[in-house]
């Protein structure tokens, strides 16, 4: 199909949107959604035509009456919103955010505020918009992608996004996400202070991951801090922070996240190949294996090792330092074997989330109530970032991913130049 024919289809679909049944318009886009070239052309639209496409695709995704390839439409909508730096009207809340209450947390590019909306406690996550430059535009594009994804996932174990609103004092910003407040905090904070059915919480997490993977999505930054606990009785675990989430079959995302939970292929592109240096379902499984260990034992993975040696241990597939934690807490032999498979340096050997979920449901520890965690004292590593760089560059057999090393923070964790981390 040539460019003229694709343009004709889009023009007809968007121009007739106001006077015909939207289902006819969305179905007319199917020939474009079914080809890579067509999807790229759809995502490249701009101006009034591009904005009309945003609303049309969003309507189709929300509708239960029309049958078309919603997975591919979702992929196009994310990229289209990023390119246009806009959002569907359905995502916009008709309120103004007034930051007149205390900040709950401060990040590198965003601030988190606790407040109220529509009679309930919520969290406002706001991007800082200063001088409009290329970096700000990148943040806006990532913001649009994250909002579209988060708004279109619906599962009991996925944190709810209510919508987006504007700052009252910065009407042109439009970069504040509103989500449900979780008073119990994240899963690590919760198990530190409460008796809990930890295996049930992990099963909740696995169900959330399974939902994403079935939808051809990957999370990309699974860790305890990105798993929130609901105030329900009984409590539930919900996945959150989709800063690195991407579409599994779509454009690649360079690996990012937290070093302790990152699969070896994300750390060392020289060993595992550049094509594997990206978020994936297999990398999610690796990270979830680390989450399982931390939730059941308490300490961070590799807590007995200074950050200088963590990357080498991951790349070499050496998990002996963590086996003592597993033995001390009585993790079953079957579960430990499953975790070792989750951490396999050969990504194709890792189990799928369906198998992990099945094992968690059948594990003997299910139903046990565990006391609050007793965490070890913080590492006395004097300068984790410098030690990490020194060892990985001098002693490692393979050169680590330069982009990740360049973005280490003072805690030895990798960062990406993205406002969404907070």
Q: Most distant CA pair in the chain: distance in Å?
A: 68
Instruction: Dump the DSSP string for 84-121.
Output: HT---GGGEEEEEE---S-EEEE-SSEEEEEEEETTEE
Domain final residue pick, 42, 57, 84: 84
Residues 174 and 210 in one domain: no
**Which ranges of 253-383 would DSSP assign to H, the alpha helix?**
264-267, 269-272, 281-297, 307-316, 320-329, 333-342, 353-362
Residue 170: exposure state from Cβ atoms within 10 A (0-12, 13-18, ≥19): middle
Residues 167 and 207 in one domain: no
Q: Are 29 and 18 in contact (CB under 8 A)?
A: no
Q: Please report which helix (H) or strand (E) contains residue 8, including its range.
A: helix 3-15
Residues 75 and 171 in one domain: no
Q: What angle do CA 306, 311, 315 make, to 5 degrees?
A: 140
Residues 344 and 198 in one domain: yes
Structural domain contains residue 410: no
DSSP letter for 395, please.
T
Distance in angstroms (rounded) separating the CA atoms of residues 51 and 130: 25
Looking up tokens 């449901």, which residue turns up?
A: 361
The values of phi and psi at residue 33, to 5°, are -65, -25
The pLDDT score that the predictor gives to residue 356 is 97
pTM score, two decimals? 0.75
Three-state DSSP at 59 gives helix
Domain span at 386: 187-405
> What is the pLDDT of the chain when averaged over all its residues?
75
Residues 265 and 286 in one domain: yes
- Reading the block at residue 315, the tokens are 């790349």
Structural domain contains residue 417: no
CATH of the domain at 283: 1.10.510.10
Structural domain contains residue 63: yes
Residues 251 and 382 in one domain: yes
Using only C-alpha atoms, what is the Rg of the chain? 22
Domains contained in the chain, number: 3
Structural domain contains residue 419: no
- pLDDT, tens digit, for every residue of 342-393? 999 889 999 999 999 999 999 887 777 777 865 444 444 433 333 332 232 2
Residues 127 and 24 in one domain: no
Q: Which of 241, 201, 207, 248 is nearest to 222 (CA)?
A: 241
Which positions of the chain have pLDDT values less than 70?
Answer: 16-20, 96-102, 106-109, 128-132, 167-174, 242-258, 268-277, 299-330, 373-422
The pLDDT score that the predictor gives to residue 94 is 79
The pLDDT score that the predictor gives to residue 93 is 87
Structural domain contains residue 413: no
- pLDDT, tens digit, for every residue of 202-257? 999 999 999 999 988 888 889 998 999 999 888 999 998 865 455 443 443 444 45
CATH of the domain at 165: 3.30.200.20
The pLDDT score that the predictor gives to residue 248 is 43
The pLDDT score that the predictor gives to residue 385 is 34
Domain final residue pick, 38, 53, 84: 84
Residues 98 and 76 in one domain: no
Residue 358: exposure state from Cβ atoms within 10 A (0-12, 13-18, ≥19): middle
Distance in angstroms (rounded) separating the CA atoms of residues 14 and 178: 30
Structural domain contains residue 309: yes
Residues 59 and 176 in one domain: no
Q: What angle do CA 247, 251, 254 make, to 5 degrees?
A: 90
Structural domain contains residue 224: yes
Residue 397: exposure state from Cβ atoms within 10 A (0-12, 13-18, ≥19): exposed
Q: What angle do CA 11, 143, 419 make, to 5 degrees?
A: 150
Residues 238 and 216 in one domain: yes
Residues 71 and 139 in one domain: no
The pLDDT score that the predictor gives to residue 258 is 65
The values of phi and psi at residue 162, to 5°, are -80, -40
Residues 71 and 98 in one domain: no
Domain final residue pick, 151, 180, 209: 180
Structural domain contains residue 129: yes
Rounded-to-10 torsion of CA 295, 340, 363, 333? -110
């Amino acid at each position: 199909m040539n460019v003229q024919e694709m343009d004709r289809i889009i023009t007809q679909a968007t121009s007739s949107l106001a006077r015909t049944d939207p289902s006819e318009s969305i179905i007319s886009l199917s020939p474009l959604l079914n080809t890579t070239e067509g999807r790229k052309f759809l995502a490249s639209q701009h101006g009034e035509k591009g904005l009309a496409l945003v609303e049309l695709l969003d309507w189709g995704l929300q509708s239960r009456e029309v049958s078309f390839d919603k997975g591919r439409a979702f992929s196009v909508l994310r990229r289209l919103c990023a390119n246009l730096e806009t959002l569907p009207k359905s995502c916009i809340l008709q309120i103004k955010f007034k930051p007149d209450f205390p900040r709950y947390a401060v990040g590198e590019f965003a601030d988190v505020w606790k407040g109220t909306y529509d009679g309930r406690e919520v969290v406002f996550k706001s991007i800082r918009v200063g001088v409009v430059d290329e970096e700000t535009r990148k943040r806006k594009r990532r913001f649009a992608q994250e909002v579209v994804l988060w708004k279109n996932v619906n599962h009991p174990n996925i944190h709810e996004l209510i919508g987006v609103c504007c700052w009252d004092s910065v009407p042109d910003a439009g970069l504040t996400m509103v989500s449900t407040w979780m008073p119990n905090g994240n899963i690590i904070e919760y198990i530190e202070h409460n008796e809990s059915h930890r295996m049930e919480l992990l099963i909740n997490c696995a169900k959330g991951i399974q939902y994403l993977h079935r939808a051809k999505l990957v999370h990309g930054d699974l860790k305890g801090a990105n798993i929130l606990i609901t105030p329900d009785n009984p409590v539930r675990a919900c996945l959150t922070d989709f800063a690195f989430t991407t579409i599994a079959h779509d454009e690649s995302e360079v690996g990012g996240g937290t070093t302790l939970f990152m699969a070896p292929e994300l750390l060392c592109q020289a060993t595992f190949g550049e094509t594997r240096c990206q978020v994936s379902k297999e990398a999610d499984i690796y990270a979830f294996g680390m989450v399982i260990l931390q939730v059941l034992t308490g300490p961070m993975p590799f807590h007995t090792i200074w950050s200088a040696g963590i990357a080498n241990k991951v790349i070499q597939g050496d998990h002996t330092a963590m086996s003592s934690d597993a033995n001390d807490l009585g993790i079953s032999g079957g579960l430990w074997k499953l975790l070792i498979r989750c951490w396999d340096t050969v990504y194709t050997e890792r189990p799928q989330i369906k198998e992990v979920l099945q094992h968690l449901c059948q594990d003997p520890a299910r139903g046990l109530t565990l006391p609050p965690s007793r965490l070890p004292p913080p590492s006395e590593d004097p300068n984790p970032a410098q030690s990490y760089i020194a060892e990985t560059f001098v002693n490692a057999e393979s050169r680590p991913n330069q982009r990740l090393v360049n973005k280490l923070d003072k805690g030895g964790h990798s960062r990406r130049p993205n406002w969404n981390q907070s």
